[in-house]
Chains A and B, each alone.
Chain A
Amino acid sequence: MASSSNTPGSFNFKVVLLGEGCVGKTSLVLRYVEDKFKANHVTTVQASFLNKKINIDGTRVNLSIWDTAGQEKFHALGPIYYRSSNGAVLVYDITDEDSFQKVKNWVKELRKMLGTEICLVIVGNKIDLEKDRHVNLEEAETYAKNVGAMHFQTSAKLNKCVEEMFLALSEKMVEANKGKEDCNTFLTRQNSQRQNIAVVDDDQVTNPSKSCCGSV
């Protein structure tokens, strides 16, 4: 019932977290959302859906951060999770070259499915393990630049750069959505949502035959 957000100058953004199994995306988002509370306030934590409200110079942003099912057998379900999202956080582990490849695949898929509507941020996590680095920083940054994504290096463990990353993403999403009509009326919202779904579904039909299921 987060409905007062319909007022101008306030946004509801859906952000999906994507990345291979143990790149630390869960710790990343928990660090961001639950940091203050982790030790003392919260007895149980669910990492699949988290909410964070921020206020950037008077602009209210309500971030709904969705973790996606990461196991290989759930790969085909990706579109159900990331459709109609405003931003995506693509996490790789700087010590794991493969995880960076996965990020590249995700970027391709997202761009194909959602076009440029979605703001991407590529995150190299675990910089506390700098000595084991296997992903070249320059290469990652160049790649991010080429696909129009932001690039950050974080450490969930040391709480480095996590908040900055989400803040930058939020600012970018605000910027991307400011041009649009602030007061989304009942009908247009529904319609735009409907369109989104339709587009994704169409792609989804063609996609699995090509790669998703075929390769499994």
Chain B
Amino acid sequence: MWSQYDENLGDNLFFKEVQHSHSDIIEKASKEGWIICVPRVGTLELVNIPIKTILDHILVPSDDQNYCTLSKKHVNVHNKHITIDSSQLFTEKIEILFEETFYVENNAKYTVWCLDRPLFLKYNYCNSHGTVILENLHDCIDFLWVESHSHGILDSTRQLTDNFTHDHGELEAESLQTQKELIGNLYSHCLQACLKSEVMREKCSKSSQFLENLKVSVEAYMQYCLGRKLIFSVNTLQYQTDACINKITRNANDLQLHDLGISDKFCDVITLAKCELNKLNNYITVLDKIFCFRRTFNIIYESVKDAYITSDDLLQILAFLVAKLNVTNWAANLTYIKEFRYSLLDNSDQNSFVITTLEAALEFIKSNQFLEIRNKALDSSVHLISSHLSVQNVFDQIKSGEIKKFEENLIELEQSLDSKLCHPLCSCEKCQDLTENYDSKLGFDPNNCNEKGQNLLIIATLLGNCDIVELLLEENVNVNFSDCLGRTALHYAACRGHQDILLLLINSGANVNAIDSDKNMPLHFACSNGHENCVKGLIYSSAEVELNIGNFFGDTPLNLATKWGYLDIVKILLENGASVIVKNKRNQTVVHLAPNYYILKLLEEFAVHKSATVSKGLKEISDVTVDEKNIPDNSKEHGLRPKNLDQFKKIDLLLKAIESNDLPLACFYLGFSCGPSKAVETQTCHPLCNCENCQNDLDFESELIRKPIHSININTCNVYGYTPLHVAAKFGRTDILRLLLDCGALPNVQVYKSLYTPLHLSCIHQRVQVVRELVKCGECKVDAQDAKGNTPLFYACLKNDVKIVEILLSNGADCNKKNFVGRSALNESEEKLQYRVFKLLKNSLVMVGGMDNDQSIMADDKLF
């Protein structure tokens, strides 16, 4: 790779001399393939260049690596360096900075090499700083210091940035555009301050390269002075993208090189590259960050011999690095590098290629292709190796989710065994063998593990197969079985984000605070992998869950969620009492780890007002009780009030679960075991059947009745008086509604204020199925009146819903029942000219025979 150095050779004194006074050499060079070497500007400042020196700089190729100058001296060229023949008293290497090909008339061309310094002139060249390439902050500070012969520039820049920091305390609250403008202004102020110095002005006017370097170094030093403030505010701008990328990468932790199609030859180099790139956030300036990337790339380039590194290779390796590294703000880094570069603006140079590759890698990680690769890798990472082939089959069946076949196999085996035995209790040698074989074939021994020590339950959890987990739990597999890493199925459910399995496991008595060999609890995994649903599942399902335990590194779940930037999880943890003052082993509290403004604010709020919020929460409850006093307190008409703050929270969550049609979660909050839907839907063969299936159903039902103590009553209502049944009716969650009714939910409860019953809500929201279910239920009052005296039928007519009206009427709804302003459903439909509804209502009146309203008959005549 060429050095970044560049100069316009047209302005180079040496080259001008060659072009003007020695055109014969150039002509010859284009014919013979000679190479003209040109020392870079400023290294050879002789007024008259002697012909000998020029001849020294014309190379004639002799063979492979050897060249001969026109002055008959030998030089070697290797790896972009010219080595002067060692027969001389000294050997030296001179870098070839770049090559430029000159095309002249008649398709002729010649090549020029720009050299770091003149050839064969050891003592006679001067070195000016104006051409130094600045690669990192250190170079920049050196440059500013040396060139100005004082620390004046450094001081003035520091002063300006300090003022800026003071004036813009909340930079992170600004938009990207504003931030860019503000920092851009600061930059030009700093630059102007530099140019106040006479010495600097003079040097700048002499060399444009010097001006460029000055710009670069002032920018770098300014960014250094701004410190973490700037990157923090960029983090804030990008926090959502970063949280999203982090969630993807955390969950891709098992990714292997070959999953991304990276060749094995890169295996070693990736470790080196990882070390290098992991330092990314130690650097503050854009220049250093780019330099860090370039070094990483160079490590990759230099790793392979005799092969080409293509863009595909680079992209794959970078994507892999991004997925594996401990850097939490990739998107912010990208934005920072792209947007806060003021002095390096070439969008075609190597730096921008590096940045583009990073951008492409991030884009790739966010894409569906990466998701597919990841999922495939996750599945294949579950090793299904075992000594028994039959066990393998079971594993395979579990893997492909063929639950039916699996069950069939069990039965089949059992039957075949029975038929083979001499008699059911025989214990002869042959039969003994058979029974042993049978056991191993079944493979149902919980001690059957793969080489990672994972049993069937853990494997099924890893694969996210809820049905199998349920099946296994029914077979009394040890829920708390842990693998080689000390992780239980619950760890893996939390890690992979399988909320359904997680709840199932907890309900089967899994230890929510189990720790693995790194002292991680399931909550740690759920937090660092960003699975909000699992965090909720863990916290709300069990009172025992510990929030403030540190893992091996002393990091609490709150620390992890903060570090990876999951705002919502941080919120949940804080609301449930996670402590903000626990220190990890690096002596950092969670406030130190906060990557962006939003999380920091949240943490600070909780640190200060924690006690206040708790008391406020309690106050809310007392407010509610006051409210209720205004409403006639009739426990039969309304739902039960929650008894404490915990229940308040729970009922809200339950209602939310119902609203989002999450049956398993709803069941969980109600304290039912998973699968009541099955219990409700499946029919027993005959009322007294004793077969296995029916027995299972009975078991379910008995479980339904036997509710755990910590679950909430089915008729509990929230602050507005909504019970689960109300919500299920309102949102048309028929399955849940049926379950609620079966489990004893009162169908006639009313919400506060509007006094709606579930039937009202279902009519208002036109949930036909729900209406059907509700009226089926014997105790349901079809003509219940709400606060305005309206019946469900009235609302159905308002909505002009023929089906619901039909159902209500067939269940004896009274279409003449008047509300408190004296209007009935019949009036309403008549006025709105709803032909079909009106007809239905009339028909019902005829059938009942209570047609005593003259007005309506007249209306009828008028209408039809």
Residues of A within 8 A of B (CB): 1-7, 10, 12-14, 26, 30, 36-37, 39-49, 51-58, 60, 62, 64, 66-71, 73-74, 76-77, 80-81, 84-86, 167, 186, 189-190, 193, 213, 216
Interface: B428 (CB within 8 A):
no
Q: Are B356 and A4 interface neighbours, CB within 8 A?
A: no
A58 to B80 alpha-carbon distance, docked (Å):
25
Q: Would you give 5 A-B contacts (Cβ < 8 Å), ordered by A?
A: A40-B64, A48-B309, A53-B100, A64-B348, A69-B312
Interface: B216 (CB within 8 A):
yes
A-B pairs, 7 with minimum CB distance: A14-B348, A64-B348, A47-B308, A53-B100, A48-B311, A3-B212, A2-B6
A64 to B349 alpha-carbon distance, docked (Å):
6
Residues of A near B682 (CB, < 8 A) are none
Interface: B345 (CB within 8 A):
yes
Most buried by B among A7, A46, A69: A46
> Contacts A42-B80, A186-B345; is A54 near B8 (CB within 8 Å)?
no
Interface: B344 (CB within 8 A):
yes
Q: Are B8 and A10 interface neighbours, CB within 8 A?
A: yes
Interface: B79 (CB within 8 A):
yes
- The prevalent SS among residues of B at the interface is mixed
Residues of A near B65 (CB, < 8 A) are 40
Q: Taking the nearest CB of chain A, how far is it from the CB of B736, in angstroms?
A: 35
With CB as the reference atom, state the residue of chain B lying closest to A77.
B360
A71 to B313 alpha-carbon distance, docked (Å):
10
Given A3-B208, A4-B6, A49-B353, 17 other A-B residues pairs in contact with their CB atoms under 8 A: A1-B133, A14-B348, A40-B64, A40-B78, A43-B305, A45-B308, A46-B1, A47-B308, A51-B350, A53-B101, A55-B9, A55-B100, A55-B103, A60-B9, A67-B310, A69-B312, A77-B360
With CB as the reference atom, state the residue of chain A lying closest to B350.
A49
Interface: B134 (CB within 8 A):
yes
Q: Taking the nearest CB of chain A, how far is it from the CB of B529, in angstroms?
A: 24
Interface: B270 (CB within 8 A):
no
Interface: B77 (CB within 8 A):
yes
Q: Are A80 and B8 interface neighbours, CB within 8 A?
A: no
> Contacts A10-B8, A55-B102, A77-B360; is A46 near B369 (CB within 8 Å)?
no
Q: Taking the nearest CB of chain B, how far is it from the CB of A10, in angstroms?
A: 6
With CB as the reference atom, state the residue of chain B lying closest to A70.
B312
Q: Taking the nearest CB of chain B, how far is it from the CB of A72, in angstroms?
A: 9
Contact among A6, A49, A53 with B99 in the assembled complex (CB-CB below 8 Å): A53
> Contacts A14-B347, A47-B310, A48-B309; is A1 near B315 (CB within 8 Å)?
no
Q: Are A167 and B345 interface neighbours, CB within 8 A?
A: no
> Contacts A49-B353, A57-B103; is A2 near B4 (CB within 8 Å)?
yes
Most buried by A among B2, B208, B301, B346: B346
How many A-B pairs have beta carbons closer than 8 Å: the answer is 161
> Contacts A7-B208, A54-B101, A60-B8; is A84 near B347 (CB within 8 Å)?
yes
With CB as the reference atom, state the residue of chain B lying closest to A14.
B348
Contact among A2, A43, A44 with B346 in the assembled complex (CB-CB below 8 Å): A2
Q: Are B349 and A189 interface neighbours, CB within 8 A?
A: no
What total of chain B residues lie within 8 Å of the partner, measured CB to CB? 62
Interface: B209 (CB within 8 A):
yes
A5 to B1 alpha-carbon distance, docked (Å):
19
A45 to B349 alpha-carbon distance, docked (Å):
17
Contact among B64, B105, B134, B311 with A69 in the assembled complex (CB-CB below 8 Å): B311
Q: Taking the nearest CB of chain B, how far is it from the CB of A98, in angstroms?
A: 19
Q: Taking the nearest CB of chain A, how far is it from the CB of B668, in angstroms?
A: 36
Q: Are A1 and B8 interface neighbours, CB within 8 A?
A: no
Q: Are B356 and A58 interface neighbours, CB within 8 A?
A: no
Q: Are A54 and B103 interface neighbours, CB within 8 A?
A: yes
Most buried by B among A49, A68, A81, A216: A49
Residues of A near B344 (CB, < 8 A) are 1
Q: Are B6 and A62 interface neighbours, CB within 8 A?
A: yes
Residues of A near B368 (CB, < 8 A) are 213
A57 to B107 alpha-carbon distance, docked (Å):
11
